[in-house]
Structure 1
Amino acid sequence: MSWSETLLDASYRGVKLLVMNENLQAQRSLSEHGVPYRDGDDVEDLGRGARRFALNVVLFGTNYEIELQNLLAALDTSGPGELIHPFYGSVSVVAQDWNVQHHADHPDYAEVSLQFLERTPAEPFFARQFEFVDVGVLDSDTGPTWQDGLLDLFGQIDALMATVQQWIGGGWVGLLENVLGLPGIGLRLGQLRSQIGGVLAGVLGLSGSSKSAASFDPLFDIPRTPVEIRSAIGAYTDPDSTAAPLTITRSILAQDNLPTSMPGAASLDADAARTATAFIVAARQGQVLTPATIAAVPAGLLEQAEPDPVQATAWALVALVITELALAQASAVATVLDAEKTTPTLNPDELESLVGSARGLAQAAIVLHRRLYGVEQALQVIEPLRAVAALVLATARQVVLQRPPLIERTVESAACLRLLAHRWYGDHSRAAELLRLNPTLRTPYVIAQGEVLRAYAS
């Protein structure tokens, strides 16, 4: 079929074009990587650049001046426009340059040379689009509020714990079935009973519970074990509701509600106990897990068809305890952050420490599930954990944004904090605020000239 039978009516921004000839140009971006003393280059294709459409069009006749004005107006319009190319159809382009020529021998006639660049819209930074819910809209009559965000967090924790207990409990049943077909069944059952009982006793010891881990046999009442562990961790990490809010905050800030090592570590496999303790210590300090610590978790152990029951049970217990700790800490930190919105008691460093512990434990739990379990199984726990960690971070961010910007101010002349508060804000009662923002200040009653303090801008 000849192109003379398939030509389209050319136009740009709706202005008709009579095309005399056209030219298409394109070029690919290439990166050449040469090696000294070796012939040739390694050429990397970085993609094609914008296509260039060059058109020569004519305008003639009695009304050619009106047509020329319309065309020039279309070309002067900024931004991309639609070009109907006679061969290539509809293309989104930007007019780059044009040239209008008149000839003395051709009255009522003009030739216009046009060059267009093809426009390919940039992909958004996130290809997936998410609906952002700002949990910090504190006084909004419509849409989610701060309290809605916290309720959502607690709801996710409850749903997540049901999922965790289901996976862990089901895994233990399978491990016990594997033991029946292995030699030395009596020794292995004794090791499993020792591991589960030791961890349970360690967790119960944290909470000061009067219960005894020997009150039931964990091998024959497997569903009860995760429930007991969760109950003990909840009693240990959740603040006492009868205590004063400031006492609760200080207790969580001092991390009195977090263990310093893996509960029942002495009864576990040595590698599992050592790695779990490293995870907890890093979370308490708000540090990111090192690659070496992450690599210590055996990849895919709990998705194997027949893993070693003793080792697998140890790591399953570690995953359960750290996940429970992560979620309990997130609940406790969220409670503190909710109180902070009405009565500020923490400085930015303390807020960072609180959020760091919650996010550190969440990261530890995510790493354990990602390394130990299969992808589909792990994602059911990892995704809610990520949402909980993100919500804690967003909540802390809103606490910070409620307050004026934090700046550094120089003391112009010796004074006490009350006098400084009066000078800077006209309110001497804000001395307590200055003391909270400068916890390292040793002599608030006499501050030397030239000392730099952190203070709110207004």
Structure 2
Amino acid sequence: MGWATELQDASFRGVQFECTSTNDAVSKSLAVKQAPYSNEAEIEDVGNNPRNISINAVYAGDDYKTWVDALEAALLETGAGELIHPIYGIMQVNVVDYSVDHNAENVDSCTISIKFIQAKDKKRELFVPVAVLDEIYTEDIIDEPASALEQYLKKLKVLDQNQFFDAVNNVSNGINTFRDGLNLAKTAIENVLAPADFIVGLVDDVSGLVTFDANISALSKWRDLVYRVQRFEKLFQNDKSSPQLQQLWRATQVASTVAITQKVIENVRTELAENKESSLTPIDLAVIRQNNRQQIQAAINTEREQIATELNETAVSQIQVYKETADQLHLQIQELIEIRPPVTKTVITVPCTLHWLAHQLYEDMSRASEILRLNPDLVNPAVLRPGMELTVYAR
């Protein structure tokens, strides 16, 4: 910033004035607690006091009196007004006092000393707001590989009919094997020549298997379904004649895991909106996020190996899609984690029960079940021994 280029024209309530000097004073609001006859004090910083602003304004010229009257009228108005500070810009301030100074040596001019107090400080964003998607659309994950396979099949149909029929049968048999392994009923006829359509339908059918049963932990059900899907990740690995099919199947695996995770995120959001106890702890959500990261990173590593091959263009685009998916998934889960207080550790100092610990930590013994959920390995909640370390929500 330089005075020659960056200073702003000073004004109050729209009345401009020349400014010769400014003085801005800021003080801290401190709560001092001190015991009698003690030289030590406990000082708590409870924020900042309102900013005090002193400005020296000047008017000169034949019409200076007109401007002085206009500024005085603005200063005498009740309530907060808009001040354009020559350095800090727009501020909402209240007038504390002012004085007008005339002297014989300065003809047709006067100076006005004004004291303001800032009514409301500017809101300073500590972090740049990030938009979190309500839902990640799995169609975007499979779009590029599906188009590549579709073009490959069309080209093969013209060049070699026998190889084309072998490829179509291979795709159909593989998809049927996957459906049988997950007990997925076929709801529509799959058109192999339109890979994007039938893969989207397949991923939707997989996400439809997500259920939430109070008798089984949500993390266990999520993990079981994801592992069932991942059992078929090498379904088309032996088909070296069609790298496009292998690429699409990698995308299908990632899309299926993401779709399952989206169902879990939707369920947790609903629970939090209804003020219900969440079926997944922050640690559970972190585990789900880590598993998604690992699978997406494995897919990215494989795509990087394809950059020097005939799939170069599709691989580059697909890597970017995977990166964006991983980032949005991270933000979705992080948002859910931060809704609850941060997770911390506490050490048991005296023999007690889980209800006593909840009362000690939160003055609410009903939160014992919450602590139990955060510590699934706890053997006996009625016997907590000194030295035990438990995971709890911060107070």
TM class, shorter-chain normalised?
Answer: 0.5 to 0.7
**Structure 2 unaligned spans of 5+:** 5-126
Q: Does 1:259 align with 2:228?
A: yes
**How do 1:165-314 and structure 2 match up within 5 A?**
165-178=146-159, 180=160, 186=162, 188-189=163-164, 191-211=166-186, 221-238=191-208, 240=210, 249-250=218-219, 252-259=221-228, 261-263=230-232, 268-270=236-238, 310-312=241-243, 314=245
1:431 aligns with: 368
CA contact (8 A) 1:175 1:313 kept: no
CA contact (8 A) 1:237 1:257 kept: no
1:134 aligns with: 130
Distance 1:387 1:317, change over 3 A: closer
1:119 aligns with: none
Q: Which amino acid aligns with 2:383?
A: V
Q: Does 1:318 align with 2:249?
A: yes
Distance 1:333 1:167, change over 3 A: farther
Q: 2:299 aligns with which of 356, 365, 373?
A: 365
Distance 1:245 1:168, change over 3 A: farther
CA contact (8 A) 1:150 1:334 kept: no
SS at match of 1:255: helix
Q: Deviations over 1:266-308 (max 9, x none)?
A: 6x453x6xxxxxxxxxxxxxxxxxxxxxxxxxxxxxxxxxxx7
Q: Which amino acid aligns with 1:169?
A: E
Distance 1:386 1:401, change over 3 A: same
CA–CA distance in structure 1, aligned partners of residues 270 and 214 of structure 2: 8
Q: Deviations over 1:222-274 (max 9, x none)?
A: 33444333322321234557x568869345433324425453956x453x6xx
Q: Which amino acid aligns with 1:411?
A: I
Q: Which amino acid aligns with 1:259?
A: R
Q: Deviations over 1:293-346 (max 9, x none)?
A: xxxxxxxxxxxxxxx7x2435524533432432442443343245346444332
Instruction: Give the Å deviation of 1:437.
Output: 1.4
SS at match of 2:341: coil
CA contact (8 A) 1:168 1:320 kept: no
Q: Does 1:334 align with 2:252?
A: no
Q: Which amino acid aligns with 2:325?
A: V
2:338 aligns with: 401
Q: Which amino acid aligns with 1:199?
A: G
TM-score, normalised relative to structure 1: 0.49
CA–CA distance in structure 2, aligned partners of residues 422 and 212 of structure 1: 53
Q: Which amino acid aligns with 1:209?
A: L
**How do 1:26-105 and structure 2 match up within 5 A?**
none
CA–CA distance in structure 2, aligned partners of residues 439 and 248 of structure 1: 10
Distance 1:260 1:194, change over 3 A: same
1:107 aligns with: none
SS at match of 1:150: coil
1:350 aligns with: 284
CA contact (8 A) 1:411 1:450 kept: yes
Q: 2:134 aligns with which of 131, 144, 150?
A: 150
Q: Percent identity between the aligned chains?
A: 18
Q: Deviations over 1:8-37 (max 9, x none)?
A: xxxx999xxxxxxxxxxxxxxxxxxxxxxx
TM-score, normalised relative to structure 2: 0.56
1:56 aligns with: none
CA–CA distance in structure 2, aligned partners of residues 341 and 387 of structure 1: 26
Distance 1:334 1:358, change over 3 A: farther
Q: Does 1:384 align with 2:321?
A: yes
1:35 aligns with: none
- Count of equivalent residues: 266
Instruction: Give the Å deviation of 1:410.
Output: 1.7
Distance 1:238 1:331, change over 3 A: farther
Instruction: Give the Å deviation of 1:415.
Output: 1.5
CA contact (8 A) 1:410 1:452 kept: yes
